[in-house]
Amino acid sequence: MRDFSKNHEWLSINTATVRRQWPLDRIIDECARRNIRAISPWRDQVAAVGLDRIAAQLKATGIGLSGYCRGGFFPAADAAGLKAALEDNRRAVDEACTVNAPCLVLVVGSLPGALEGKPLHHDMTRVRAEVRDGIAATLEYARSVGMPLAIEPLHPMQAAERACINTLEQALDVCDALDPQHSGALGVAVDMYHVWWDPKLEQQIARAGKKRLLAFHVCDWLIPTRDLVNDRGMMGDGVIELRKARGWMEAAGFAGYAEVEIFSEYWWGQPGEVVLDTCVEKHRRVV
Amino acid sequence: MRDFSKNHEWLSINTATVRRQWPLDRIIDECARRNIRAISPWRDQVAAVGLDRIAAQLKATGIGLSGYCRGGFFPAADAAGLKAALEDNRRAVDEACTVNAPCLVLVVGSLPGALEGKPLHHDMTRVRAEVRDGIAATLEYARSVGMPLAIEPLHPMQAAERACINTLEQALDVCDALDPQHSGALGVAVDMYHVWWDPKLEQQIARAGKKRLLAFHVCDWLIPTRDLVNDRGMMGDGVIELRKARGWMEAAGFAGYAEVEIFSEYWWGQPGEVVLDTCVEKHRRVV
C-alpha cells in the first residue's frame, strides 16, 4: 500500500469542494501553488471560465485530472427529454476529451422531476432500465473517442432524486451487462461517502478489479449528519475507515488519486486557502 | 393479493406514530374506537403506563400485536456494557411474551457511543461481528420461551448510529448463519422506509419466504427528505411503491399486518385523531 504520509502526490481536489469560494481558474492556480497535481472539475465550473481557457491553463500548470464531473441523469419525462439527455452526455464526453480526463463520472439520475421536488412517477424498475439504456448509448460514443465512463453509485438516501444505482454491486452488474469483456471503457467511481456503509464493499471492490476501478473519492460521514446532500465531513472528522478502504482499492490494483469531494455548508463557509491546506494535511494523516 | 380497499382489518399502528400526542393506554383506546385490530408498542411507552396494565387492556379491548419494539443495540463500550445489553434483551423478550407479541423487533445497534455523538471506534466489521454474537445469545433465550426475533435492516443513512445491518440480504445472511433450519425463531422485519431503494428487494423478499417474513412496516419517503430520522411521510405522500412491495411480500407467503410507523415532526404536531384517521384512509387507498 502506498505511503501517503510523506507527500501529497496522489491527492486530487474535486473542485466542488471550493466552488463557493473561487471560480475554476483561481482554483487551478491555488492547487498549483500547493503542488496539488490533479483536480476533478465540474462542467458548470468549466463553462463559467471557458473550456478552451481551462484546457490551456491545465496544460500550462501541468495539473492533470482524476475525473470529469459529470454525465448521467438519463431518465427523462419524455422522448424529447431523453434525446436531450443523450446529446448532453455526448457533449460531456467531448469536454472530457478536451481536458484530457481519465474518465467521465456518471451520476445516472433517477425519477424524472424528483430533483425539482415533483417526481413524474415512482417506478424505480423503469428508471433503472432507462439508465442502463442511457449508459449503453453513451458508452457506444465514448468508446469511439476513447473516453472511459465511471458509474458512481450514490448513497441510498439519494435514490429518488439523483441516482437509482446505489451500490457498487449494482454498478458492477451494469458493467458486466454492457462491457462483459472488461475492456476498460466502463467502470466505477468509488466515492466512500456513498458506499462506506456497504457490508459487501470489500468484496465488490475486489470484484471490480483494476480495470474497472476508475476513481476513488474521499471525504467523511459526520455524526450526526444534518443534511442529506451538503453535510459531508473533512477526512478524519467522521466515521469512514478511509485507510482500510484505500487498502482494499490498492489490493485490487487501483493506483490512482484519492480525490477529495466535500459538499458542505461548513467548508464552503471557510476561506478556500484553509480548505485546501486542510485537505493536504488530512490526505497525509488520514487517507 | 389481499384487497385492502374494503376495510382495515390488516392495519396495525406502530405506537411511535402518535407518541407525542398520547400515552399508550389512550392510544389503545383510540385504536379500539376505530376498529384497528393491532398495534406495535415501544418498550418505553409500555413502561410509562405499566406492563401488566397494558397487557390487561390489550386483552380487554381485543387488540393484538404485530410486533414489539424493540430489542437490539448489542455493541457496547466494554464487557459490562455488553452484559447489560444482553440482559436488557432478555427482559425485552420477556415483555414481548407478556403482551403476546408475534415477534420482538431488533434494531441491532452499531458503533458504540455514536448515537450520543461520540463513537468510541469506527470498526464496522467489529460491530457486525458483535451484533451477530448478540443476536445468537438472545436467540438462545428467545427460542426457549418461544418468542421469534425479527431483525430490522435500517436504512444505510442510519448505519453508524442505529444499525450496522442495512440490507435485507445482510439480515438474511445472519438468519442463515444462526437459524439454518428456518425454524421460524429468527426472521426479518421489512420496513419499507429502510429498504425501498434496494435493487435486490424483490429477490430478497422471495429468498426470505413466509417463515422469515415476520413484519411489514409502511410509511413513505418524502421528496425532499429534510431530516435523517424524523421526516418520514404518510403513505402516498412520497415515492415508495407500497402496493408493489406488498405484492412481493404476499407472493412470498406473508399474510400479516401492514404496520404504520411514522417518525415525523409534522405528524407528531397533528391531532392524534387526525393521524389515525389518515392512517386508516391511506391504508385502504395506498397500501
Three-state secondary structure string covering B136-181: HHHHHHHHHHCCCEEECCCCHHHCCCCECCCCHHHHHHHHHHHCCC
Q: What is the pLDDT along chain B (287 residues), one digit of tens a residue?
A: 999 999 999 999 999 999 999 999 999 999 999 999 999 999 999 999 999 999 999 999 999 999 999 999 999 999 999 999 999 999 999 999 999 999 999 999 999 999 999 999 999 999 999 999 999 999 999 999 999 999 999 999 999 999 999 999 999 999 999 999 999 999 999 999 999 999 999 999 999 999 999 999 999 999 999 999 999 999 999 999 999 999 999 999 999 999 999 999 999 999 999 999 999 999 999 99
Distance CA B126, CA B171 (A): 16
What proportion of chain A, given as a percentage, has pLDDT over 90? 100
Provide the residue type at A183 as one letter.
Answer: S
Residues B17/B44, Cβ–Cβ less than 8 Å? no
User: Cα–Cα distances in Å, from B210 out to A32, A157, B139, B193?
Assistant: 61, 28, 19, 21
Spans of chain A below 70 pLDDT? none
pLDDT tens digits, residue range A1-17? Answer: 999 999 999 999 999 99
> Residue A16's pLDDT is what?
98
Residues B65/B102, Cβ–Cβ less than 8 Å? yes
Helix H or strand E encompassing B216: strand B213-218
Domains of chain A by start residue, with CATH: 11-285 (3.20.20.150)
Please judge whether A240 and B122 are an interchain contact, meaning their C-beta atoms are less than 8 angstroms apart. yes
Task: Return the DSSP state at B18.
Answer: G
Please count the residue pairs, one from chain A and one from chain B, whose beta carbons lie less than 8 angstroms apart.
Answer: 82
Residues A270/A235, Cβ–Cβ less than 8 Å? no
Distance from CA of B215 to the nearest CA of A (A): 22
Distance CA B192, CA B154 (A): 10
Provide the residue type at A107 as one letter.
Answer: V
- Burial per residue of A227-260, b for 16 or more beta-carbon CB atoms within 10 angstroms, e otherwise: bbeebbbbbebbbbbbeebbebbbebebebbbbb
> Residue A162's pLDDT is what?
98
User: Cα–Cα distances in Å, from B128 out to B118, B174, B182?
Assistant: 18, 10, 21
> Residue B179's pLDDT is what?
98
- Site of grid cell 473550456: A51
Judging by DSSP bridges, how do beta strands A38-40 and B149-151 pair with one another? unpaired
What is the longest distance spanned by two Cα atoms in chain B? 53
If phi > 0 it is left, if psi is from -120 to 50 it is alpha, else beta; for residue A64 that is beta
The C-alpha cell at B138 is 438472545
Q: In chain A, which residues touch B (CB < 8 A)?
A: 111, 114, 117, 119, 122-124, 128, 155-157, 159-161, 164-167, 170, 196-199, 221, 223-226, 228, 239-241
Rounded to 5 degrees, what angle do the CA atoms A280, A283, A284 make? 90
Please judge whether A156 and B157 are an interchain contact, meaning their C-beta atoms are less than 8 angstroms apart. yes
The predicted complex's ipTM stands at 0.97
The C-alpha cell at A188 is 466505477
Point out the residue among B119, B167, B221 whose CB comes nearest to the CB of A223: B119
Which of A111, A158, A166, A197 would you mutate first to test chain B, the one with the most B CBs within 10 A?
A: A197
The C-alpha cell at A75 is 431518465
> Residue A79's pLDDT is what?
95
> Residue A147's pLDDT is what?
98
Neighbours of A145 (CB within 10 A): 11
- Site of grid cell 481519465: A102
pLDDT tens digits, residue range A221-248? Answer: 999 999 999 999 999 999 999 999 999 9
Burial class (CB in 10 A: 0-12, 13-18, 19+), B17: buried
